[in-house]
């Protein structure tokens, strides 16, 4: 039993053992879309161009809301796929028992 555990743990971090690595990178990039722009105030700290009477400062932040929502949803779906791939690569079922997948 300890032999099986040590074999599994030794391959868990080996290069090429993570078939979902590109998906996790995509998840990180998608989540950064919603986190980074609001922190970079210098890119939207101005009044022009105005849209519907709202200065750029306001409508840019309002525009980020649906963009962030979509990016977060896509990141969530990608993370579900990546988790299933990781579980299969480690010899587990793709979805845990009792999960609502």
Q: How far apart are CA 30 and CA 81, in angstroms?
A: 15
Of 1-5, 18-22, 55-59, 72-76, give the range with the top mean pLDDT: 72-76
Q: What is the DSSP letter of 54?
A: B
- pLDDT score of 31: 95
pLDDT tens-place string over residues 34-79: 899 999 999 988 888 988 888 999 999 999 999 999 999 999 999 9
Residues 9, 17: Cα–Cα separation, whole Å: 11
Residue 90 has pLDDT above 50, yes or no: yes
Percentage of the chain lying above the pLDDT 90 cut: 47
């Amino acid at each position: 039993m300890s032999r099986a555990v040590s074999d599994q743990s030794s391959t868990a971090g080996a290069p090429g053992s993570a078939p979902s690595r590109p998906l996790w990178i995509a998840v990180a990039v998608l989540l950064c879309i919603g986190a980074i722009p609001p922190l970079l105030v210098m890119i939207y700290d101005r009044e022009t161009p105005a849209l519907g009477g709202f200065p750029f400062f306001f409508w840019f932040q309002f525009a980020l809301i649906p963009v962030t929502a979509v990016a977060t949803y896509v990141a969530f779906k990608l993370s579900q796929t990546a988790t299933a791939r990781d579980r299969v690569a480690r010899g587990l079922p793709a979805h845990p028992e009792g999960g609502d997948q």
